[in-house]
Structure 1
Amino acid sequence: MGLLKDLEDKILIADGAMGTLLYSYGTDCCFEQLNLTHPEQIQSIHQAYIQAGAHVIQTNTYSANYIKLQRYGLEEQVKDLNSAAVKLAKKAAANGEYVLGTIGGIRGTGPSSLSIEEIKRSFREQLYCLLLEGVDGLLLETFYDLEELETVLEIARSQTSVPIISQISLQEVGVLNDRTPINTAIRRLEDLGADVVGLNCRLGPFHMIKTLEEVEIPKHAFLSAYPNASLPSYVDGKFQYEGDAEYFKNSALLFREQGIRLLGGCCGTTPAHIEAFSKELHGLQPITEKVVKKRPEPVAVREAGQKPEISLPGILKERRSVIVELDPPRKLDTSLFFEGAKALKEAGADAITLADNSLASPRICNTSLSSLAKAQTGVQPIVHLACRDRNIIGLQSHLMGLHTLGLHDILAITGDPAKVGDFPGASSVYDVTSIELIKMIKQFNEGVSLSGKDLGQKTQFTVGAAFNPNVKSLERAVQRAEKKIESGADYFISQPVYSEEKLMEFHDAVKGLPVPFYVGIMPLTSSRNADFLHYEVPGIKLTDQIRERMATFKDDPVSAAREGLQISKSLIDAASELFNGIYLITPFMRFELTAELTQYAYEIDRQQTRRIQNV
């Protein structure tokens, strides 16, 4: 009869999880690779679901796309893995069960730097592989990003007339990550040509049913639901799902009451869960009318009570601005740090920046020192926030803490990998890139968390981004800067520059960008310091001339420091003609050097102003 014809007057039972079931058996690899290496295992799971009562099964192809297979070095096997998966499912469906070609979402729950064009290319390849094998329909599942799902649905609809099931995944009841109400999203997918629309993954039966209570029965499509078994627990180094089949049996009629026509399972579900659905709904007709709960009107998000004292991007558009990096100490004595913060404030620095465990070496928490420095000296702190040390949960918690402390200026950075620091065996998290972190921070400024949850207040963060002018290809560096600007970067802070030629090249490369720059300048203290920076610190390069000048005083530390100051002053002279922002980096807590350079930078500015007035 056909899948859509059956759904007109039947509730069809779909299968359950594949990946988590394989994982529970002890498999921990690329599950799609098993289509070729262990086909009998995949086919036996299909058969188990069919025996449990499934009328619809899906191919083991959730991650069988170019982008996800790259993680395992299998990106050249897209066709083989998808083709094998369809053949296995069809072989199992010997009694006329429907086989859906599964394509999973690529963008996850966090912000993504993957472009839509990259996703389109990967999607099309997998789509054609599945269609060539003659699937009975397509299952687009676990899409947290509505833009991505709408994009791939349009492509799929333009290429085939087979039924398409489009399923959204939510982290919060009733709303997507971008705060789109679920009913609105369902209607949009129906308008784009989805034959079945619904939800899968993340939510268990309880919260999925609560979400479905806000969903109207579509006029031209059917509703589907694939709930998770439960939230996973972590026992003896493995994830476990503990939701039992009896619970699924008790929720089956509730799904029917919400108008569901296609009911299956997602993470943690087994043939026992599917059998529970099948037995409870056997012979029952789907409902055609329901009372829809109206979604509560969103509460207006309040502006933050405490606002930033000054706007660094605003200052840079009007006058010279000097900010100074003063790293948190490695040891617990903070007296020198606070002495430096006070001296830099008195020297006129607009702000001090505090690194986040630079070079992957542990230091006193920069948030703690920022809060104390602001309270004790009145200096404005810029808190570096690295992606290396915190997962998405930790980053969001950290942002909430910064807002609560009234610390509104952030430098979003990727962070040096753990292997370069004191503990090379430590894990580098990198749940997000610096570009994705910028997006996250800007979403907080809208009063919305990464999951789409209302934060109750809008944060007022100003976000700086890092720029390295010392790379081989400035063109590529500018392209990355443009992505950061698109994500919301308000200004840039550069790595230190050590030649006037590089300053000119740097200026010419970025002068067309719409946000201001702080030019990094770090005084050298010795010849060894110069060589170390040049040869061992990523992102910093010195000219031969600079290293030769410092080598002249390799046995005279006082003269070497004086020469380092002179080099920095000449660089400030050149930079002042090109940029309004000067970013001074304090070496080895020698804040007297950067305090002197701060005063010098402002004096240069005053001299330039007097010259203009006298013309």
Structure 2
Amino acid sequence: MALLDDLQQKILVGDGAMGTFLYQQGIHGCFELLNYDRPEKVLKVHQQYIEAGADIIQTNTYAANRLKLRRYQLEHLAEEINLKAVSIAREAAGDHTYVLGTIGGISNVHLTEFETEEVQASFKEQADVLLTAGVDGILLETFYNIDELSLILRYLRQQTKVPIIAQVTLGDIGVLQGGISLKAALDRLGEEGADVVGLNCRMGPHHMLRSLEELPLPLKTYLSVYPNASLPNVRDGRFFYQSNPHYFGKMTEELVAEGARLIGGCCGTTPDHVKAIKATVVSKGLMPVTSKPIKEKRAAAVSVTPPNVAHPLSDVSQNRQSVIVELDPPKSLSKTDEFLKGTKALKEAGADAVTLADNSLASARIDNLSLGVLMKQQTKARPLLHLACRDRNLIGLQSHLLGLHTLGIHDVLAITGDPAKVGDFPGASSVYDMASLDLIKFIKQLNEGISFSGKDLGEKTVFTVAGAFNANARYIDKEVKRLERKIKAGADYFMSQPVYSIAQLETVYEATKHLPVPIYIGIMPLVSSRNAEFLHNEVPGIILSDDVRKRMATCGKSKLEGEKEGLLLAKELIDEAKTYFNHIYLITPFLRYEMTVELTRYIQDMSEEESLIQGQHKTQQVKR
């Protein structure tokens, strides 16, 4: 416990970055592999930090867990890489420097890459190796997800009595991902067994200082701070950070005044930064503070009266048949008027909403937001916009959603999006900062008035969020498990891929009848035999029965006969679908909105007939 005794009495200096420091020297790839095949490189970095004045160094094991090593096909070396890392650090430290075994966060900032069980197993494996190797303490760093950090912290506290330092990474000043306050997060970590709690990564000293100014001194733990050198920049395709050791030294005094007892560096910091921290601690005679003033946090004015919006589409269907119709934005500018004409016809036919895809099949189309605004203004139709993770990074997704809210468009379908290589521009980049499951969760976070980063928006959005459902999945039970996860994330209802089999409708119903949210079952009329064969053989998620393909084949090349048979098949499916589902999602083929207008009217006429029959039955019961 010598480490904790020292922290009680004095300010300790940690080391700086390992990965970015090696990167600046021209080393790329898996930095943790260097423990195994180039240990002298790692040893030299440790020695430079110790010579600069570090009282504590951390093992080169930030990403030395099975899941992150898997990206380099090195997971089989996880144990050996961690053991060698401790050995190298011990060689550098001798008897006068503490060695912390470092475990880094696994989850991406906003992307759920792995199942909880996988993460837990990976953490346990790495923790057990580091503890067996005999470190002086454990450093948990760069955790954006407080639940993930708690997962490993609770396990470690059960296994060992060595000091544990648990550091979160902020989404914005004073808040974590999900809007969790820094105070709440650090209090929780203290209660779960951390000896030292603090911050590292993403922010430089200035923003970390601002976060600490609003934070009372922890009652049961000590406070650590490992800032980045600065905000990163890019030059000639390479990331770099400001060289500002003097500034780091100057900020050290202010960080200590806010309660920090352990100060090191994260991304972009070098031995020069550590040397500046040490020099300030020594020359100023800095000692731990036991009290400090708290800067009042100004309360944000969050709107408690939501805008006047239509009822959610997830509620429409509770009393009557509900219809959503998809009309894809055209690829050609000359088709804009035809598109608006189609939305008007669908609105008049009784569609509850017209949904617009977001560059479906990775093909460039007119922006669905622009057309959504025009259709709302000119036709009064209700726009439901698809939102794909493929084309926008986190910044673009949040900006786009805030723009939708500002324009009064509150219905979205969250999808991951088809990869760029399947579309018009196979060389384009697919972003995928998050997947649909994560996007659903973060849209619902906006509904709480909290940005993706955790910052207060000053007003709550009021989005209703649909999730996509592959009703033709080979293993329907696995697909339903995904739906359950999406419901947990906040999905209000689902819209399915088109179904072309009456038997499949019953299968889907039996598999999903326990779900607490509505399902809009997808039906898309076929237009020709060639169309049927393309969908069946080339479009993921769509399966046609042999009977359907044979019926379309009898139409030959006649456009008229193809559309006629396609409508007949669609009506047969609708007749069967209404036995199981009260929500229909019609998908318009090739902007041929006359077909989905006819089907929308067909559904509405059926609904009126059923209502009339029900009314007659009630009248007869009253007379009796």
Name the TM-score class by shorter chain.
over 0.9
Q: Which segment is superposed worse, 220-229 or 382-391?
A: 220-229
Question: Is residue 433 from structure 1 mapped to residue 438 from structure 2 by the alignment?
Answer: no
Question: Which residue of 425, 442, 460 corresponds with 1:423?
Answer: 425
Partner of 2:144: 144
Q: Decide whether aligned partners of structure 1 residues 426 and 315 sit closer, same or farther in structure 2, where only a CA change above 3 A counts.
A: same
Report matched runs for 1:532-543 at 5 Å.
532-543=534-545
Report matched runs for 1:245-260 at 5 Å.
245-260=245-260
Report matched runs for 1:77-96 at 5 Å.
77-96=77-96
| Alpha-carbon distance between aligned partners in 1 of 2:482 and 2:537, rounded to the nearest angstrom | 25
1:82-124 per-residue CA deviation (whole Å, 9 max, x = no partner) reads 1111111111112421110000112233253644433221111
Q: Which amino acid aligns with 1:133?
A: A
| Alpha-carbon distance between aligned partners in 2 of 1:315 and 1:113, rounded to the nearest angstrom | 34
CA contact (8 A) 1:171 1:203 kept: no
Q: Which segment is superposed worse, 250-259 or 347-356?
A: 250-259
Question: Which residue of 361, 365, 368 corresponds with 1:366?
Answer: 368
Q: Which segment is superposed worse, 519-528 or 297-306?
A: 297-306
| Alpha-carbon distance between aligned partners in 1 of 2:75 and 2:62, rounded to the nearest angstrom | 14
Partner of 1:444: 446
1:356-403 per-residue CA deviation (whole Å, 9 max, x = no partner) reads 000000000000000100100000010000011111111001101100
CA contact (8 A) 1:384 1:410 kept: yes
1:45-87 per-residue CA deviation (whole Å, 9 max, x = no partner) reads 1111011111110001111112222222222221111111111
- How far is the alpha carbon of 1:260 from its aligned partner? 1.9
Q: Which segment is superposed worse, 401-410 or 92-101?
A: 92-101
Q: Which segment is superposed worse, 273-282 or 106-115?
A: 106-115
Partner of 2:290: 289
Report matched runs for 1:72-151 at 5 Å.
72-110=72-110, 112=112, 114-151=114-151
1:557-585 per-residue CA deviation (whole Å, 9 max, x = no partner) reads 21111011100110010011111111111
CA contact (8 A) 1:153 1:194 kept: yes
Report matched runs for 1:115-264 at 5 Å.
115-264=115-264
- How far is the alpha carbon of 1:194 from its aligned partner? 1.3
Partner of 1:66: 66
Report matched runs for 1:201-600 at 5 Å.
201-282=201-282, 284-296=285-297, 298-303=299-304, 306-333=307-334, 334-600=336-602
| Alpha-carbon distance between aligned partners in 2 of 1:224 and 1:286, rounded to the nearest angstrom | 14
1:299-325 per-residue CA deviation (whole Å, 9 max, x = no partner) reads 241046533223211111111011110
Q: Which amino acid aligns with 2:229?
A: A
Q: Which segment is superposed worse, 17-26 or 433-442?
A: 17-26
Q: Which amino acid aligns with 1:194?
A: A
- How far is the alpha carbon of 1:142 from its aligned partner? 1.1
Residue 458 of structure 1: SS of its match in structure 2? Answer: coil
| Alpha-carbon distance between aligned partners in 2 of 1:466 and 1:211, rounded to the nearest angstrom | 39
CA contact (8 A) 1:341 1:352 kept: yes
- How far is the alpha carbon of 1:523 from its aligned partner? 0.7
Residue 584 of structure 2: SS of its match in structure 1? Answer: strand
Q: Decide whether aligned partners of structure 1 residues 435 and 268 sit closer, same or farther in structure 2, where only a CA change above 3 A counts.
A: same
| Alpha-carbon distance between aligned partners in 1 of 2:597 and 2:400, rounded to the nearest angstrom | 30
- How far is the alpha carbon of 1:338 from its aligned partner? 0.7
CA contact (8 A) 1:99 1:137 kept: yes
Residue 513 of structure 1: SS of its match in structure 2? Answer: coil
- How far is the alpha carbon of 1:41 from its aligned partner? 0.7
CA contact (8 A) 1:202 1:228 kept: yes
Partner of 2:13: 13
- How far is the alpha carbon of 1:131 from its aligned partner? 0.5
Question: Is residue 31 from structure 1 mapped to residue 31 from structure 2 by the alignment?
Answer: yes
- How far is the alpha carbon of 1:297 from its aligned partner? 5.2
CA contact (8 A) 1:304 1:457 kept: no
Residue 70 of structure 1: SS of its match in structure 2? Answer: helix
- How far is the alpha carbon of 1:294 from its aligned partner? 4.1
| Alpha-carbon distance between aligned partners in 2 of 1:341 and 1:186, rounded to the nearest angstrom | 52
Residue 457 of structure 1: SS of its match in structure 2? Answer: coil
| Alpha-carbon distance between aligned partners in 2 of 1:181 and 1:310, rounded to the nearest angstrom | 33
1:319-364 per-residue CA deviation (whole Å, 9 max, x = no partner) reads 1011110000001121110111111111111111000000000000
| Alpha-carbon distance between aligned partners in 1 of 2:115 and 2:26, rounded to the nearest angstrom | 34
Partner of 2:3: 3
| Alpha-carbon distance between aligned partners in 2 of 1:536 and 1:562, rounded to the nearest angstrom | 23
CA contact (8 A) 1:56 1:100 kept: yes
Structure 2: gaps (5+ residues)? 618-624
Question: Is residue 607 from structure 1 mapped to residue 617 from structure 2 by the alignment?
Answer: no
Residue 112 of structure 1: SS of its match in structure 2? Answer: coil
Residue 302 of structure 1: SS of its match in structure 2? Answer: coil
Q: Percent identity over the alignment?
A: 54
Q: Which amino acid aligns with 2:477?
A: E
**What RMSD in Å do the two structures reach over aligned CA positions?**
1.5
CA contact (8 A) 2:178 2:445 kept: no
CA contact (8 A) 2:523 2:570 kept: yes
| Alpha-carbon distance between aligned partners in 2 of 1:243 and 1:302, rounded to the nearest angstrom | 43
Q: How many residues align?
A: 615
- How far is the alpha carbon of 1:285 from its aligned partner? 4.6
Residue 178 of structure 2: SS of its match in structure 1? Answer: coil
| Alpha-carbon distance between aligned partners in 2 of 1:583 and 1:459, rounded to the nearest angstrom | 25
Give the TM-score normalised by structure 2.
0.96
Q: Decide whether aligned partners of structure 1 residues 310 and 193 sit closer, same or farther in structure 2, where only a CA change above 3 A counts.
A: closer
| Alpha-carbon distance between aligned partners in 2 of 1:52 and 1:510, rounded to the nearest angstrom | 62
Structure 1: gaps (5+ residues)? none
| Alpha-carbon distance between aligned partners in 2 of 1:239 and 1:306, rounded to the nearest angstrom | 43
- How far is the alpha carbon of 1:254 from its aligned partner? 1.4
CA contact (8 A) 2:11 2:288 kept: no
Residue 333 of structure 2: SS of its match in structure 1? Answer: coil
| Alpha-carbon distance between aligned partners in 1 of 2:439 and 2:229, rounded to the nearest angstrom | 31
- How far is the alpha carbon of 1:549 from its aligned partner? 0.5
Q: Which amino acid aligns with 1:374?
A: K
| Alpha-carbon distance between aligned partners in 2 of 1:298 and 1:205, rounded to the nearest angstrom | 24
- How far is the alpha carbon of 1:37 from its aligned partner? 1.8
| Alpha-carbon distance between aligned partners in 1 of 2:296 and 2:420, rounded to the nearest angstrom | 46
Question: Is residue 48 from structure 1 mapped to residue 41 from structure 2 by the alignment?
Answer: no
Partner of 2:622: none
Give the TM-score normalised by structure 1.
0.97
1:205-240 per-residue CA deviation (whole Å, 9 max, x = no partner) reads 111122222233333322111111000001110111
Q: Which amino acid aligns with 2:326?
A: E
CA contact (8 A) 1:9 1:285 kept: no
| Alpha-carbon distance between aligned partners in 2 of 1:353 and 1:464, rounded to the nearest angstrom | 11
| Alpha-carbon distance between aligned partners in 2 of 1:377 and 1:579, rounded to the nearest angstrom | 28
